[in-house]
Amino acid sequence: MHTVGETRYNHWFDGLALLHSFTIKDGEVYYRSKYLRSDTYKANIEANRIVVSEFGTMAYPDPCKNIFSKAFSYLSHTIPDFTDNCLINIMKCGEDFYATTETNYIRKINPQTLETLEKVDYRNYVAVNLATAHPHYDAAGNVLNMGTAIMDKGKTRYVVFRIPAAVPEDKKGTNPLKHTEVFCSITSRSLLSPSYYHSFGVTENHIVFLEQPFKLDILKMSTAYIRGVNWASCLAFHKEDKTYIHVVDQRTRKPLPTKFYTDPMVVFHHVNAYEEDGCLLFDVITYEDSSLYELFYLANLNQDFEENCRPTSIPTLRRFAVPLSVDKNAEVGSNLIKLTSTTAKALKEKDDQVYCQPELLYEGLELPRINYARNGKRYRYVFAAEVQWSPIPTKILKYDVLTKSSLKWGEEHCWPAEPLFVPTPGAQDEDDGKTPGRGAHLPQSACDHSSNRDIVWEQCDPPSPAPVSQSWWKQALKPRSVGVQSSEFKESLKAPSLLTPTVS
Ligand SMILES: CC1=C(/C=C/C(C)=C/C=C/C(C)=C/C=O)C(C)(C)CCC1
Ligand SMILES: [Fe+2]
């Protein structure tokens, strides 16, 4: 919902959350939807205008009656209380389902009726101010998620936390969130400008976290209300910085000692990650800058995109490879990746640094999904929305990372959303997601050009060569300087705590 009364949100990531439910049964699909009755929704509807700030829209509570309450209402926002408009994803915790966004709030929902239930503040269970809407699950259903603890006990950290699927026998009936534990944490390079991240990767033994130069400016955030600017303006891409690749060993819960890094980039979605012959490979959708967020201002979306809003970088699937153990005596400049399955490189540098150069897999895709049974493992298929020079997808894509071929589906007057892969119960093949009885016995492979149930997949040309703007390789040739901790970082250590997460 992008308008409330006479007011209108500015950005696509602001709209009031709408829950969707699809039930696929006996060859039919049943659909229902309902607005999430968040506190934000209720306050807006009651005031008949937008009164709670979202990512791209700064809003103020009901007009204040007098100067004192006005001053109070500004001051009370010095520590921002974020929105509970959980518009990004659905998370399963034990038997419970939650609608999620990236703030400290999640909302329990009834998956059958789509009713909105309790509002949960992550900060009651783990000290985080923000958390991703893309948690991971292990085979037992335990949740692994990441959040940022801003200036907590003098430090800003990226915290990996685990919510168990089941509670201990003697605590039966209690909420699994009460048993949340910190799995590990990574100290942010900067106290006042931690990286923004939308997802992270896991393999069977490791966790991959990209500390990218797309950063939140905490000082800007803490003064955003007074300055009347939105949260989006507190995010900035620092093209002069590097992207640090943190790899945590799940067995020791400690980051690997080698400093892995790559060129500056922006990543929203990790597709998958896995281990192969002593290397960790991870596939991500990369951008050269943060222009994606600018594209999604509704004012831009109302115009003719192709004409006015060409993104400066298109979403590109890239594969990175990181060696899990680095020989200290390896020659500087040597490639530590000996795999034949990828052209991604990891170049040894001095001072325990390794520069990673990815392999380009495919250009023009977003909202990636996989068969989640393959998460953290070797896999073959990416299901995604195809996005070329317009952010509105018109096709879904099935990309085969092994053969590097792809199939596309599109139909006139159809605009696909994020494709969700639902495996056939008991399926053996990774891409077996067919409804039994409706062509389920046809062979399944990326080379299958034939009619796939009612869906006609179209075989596609191999990806076109990278356009000139995709300057990864050129940049890779430039000399790279070793990162130093900025004076801002040292200064910030003296600053008082602005956002203190609470744990009870
Ligand atoms: C409200 C709010 C935030 C919201 C972010 C959102 C809503 C991001 C959505 C991202 C999507 C949908 C990405 C898709 O690739 C921040 C910046 C975390 C911090 C400040 C408060
Ligand atoms: Fe996402």
Question: For 92-145, what is each residue's pLDDT tens digit?
Answer: 999 999 999 999 999 999 999 999 999 999 999 999 999 999 999 999 999 999
Percentage of the chain modeled with pLDDT above 70: 80
Q: What residue segments make up the domains of the chain, in order of their start?
A: 3-459
Beta carbon of 167 within 6 Å of any ligand 1 atom: no
CB under 8 Å, gap of 24 or more: what pairs does 79-83 form? 79/222, 79/498, 79/499, 79/500, 80/53, 80/221, 80/222, 80/224, 80/225, 80/499, 82/129, 82/130, 83/38, 83/40, 83/52, 83/53, 83/54
Residue 155 confidence (pLDDT) above 60: yes
Integer Cα distance of 131 and 75 in angstroms: 25
Residues in the chain, overall count: 504
61 vs 315, higher pLDDT: 315
Locate the ligand 1 atom nearest the alpha carbon of residue 54 and give its number. 1
Locate the ligand 1 atom nearest the alpha carbon of residue 231 and give its number. 20
Contacts of 367 (CB under 8 A, 6+ apart): 269, 384, 385, 393, 417, 418, 419
Task: Give the pLDDT confidence of 212-256 residue by residue, as tens digits.
Answer: 999 999 999 988 888 889 999 999 999 999 999 999 999 999 999
Residue the block writes with tokens 């159809």: 414
Residue the block writes with tokens 């060859």: 27
- Ligand 1 centre distance from Cα of residue 150 (Å): 16
- Ligand 2 centre distance from Cα of residue 418 (Å): 9
Contacts of 234 (CB under 8 A, 6+ apart): 216, 217, 218, 220, 221, 224
Residue 473 confidence (pLDDT) above 50: no
Residue 495 confidence (pLDDT) above 90: no
Beta carbon of 100 within 6 Å of any ligand 1 atom: no
Beta carbon of 13 within 6 Å of any ligand 1 atom: yes
Partners of 3 in beta bridges: 8
* pLDDT confidence of residue 490: 30
Contacts of 227 (CB under 8 A, 6+ apart): none
- Ligand 2 centre distance from Cα of residue 61 (Å): 29
Ligand 1 pocket, mutate which of 103, 197, 498 (most atoms under 8 A from CB) = 103
Do 357 and 343 meet the contact criterion of CB atoms below 8 Å apart?
no
Give the least confident one: 337-341, 425-429, 495-499.
495-499
Residue nearest to atom 14 of ligand 1 (CA): 268
Residue nearest to atom 4 of ligand 1 (CA): 55
- Ligand 1 centre distance from Cα of residue 215 (Å): 12
* pLDDT confidence of residue 225: 84
- Ligand 1 centre distance from Cα of residue 368 (Å): 18
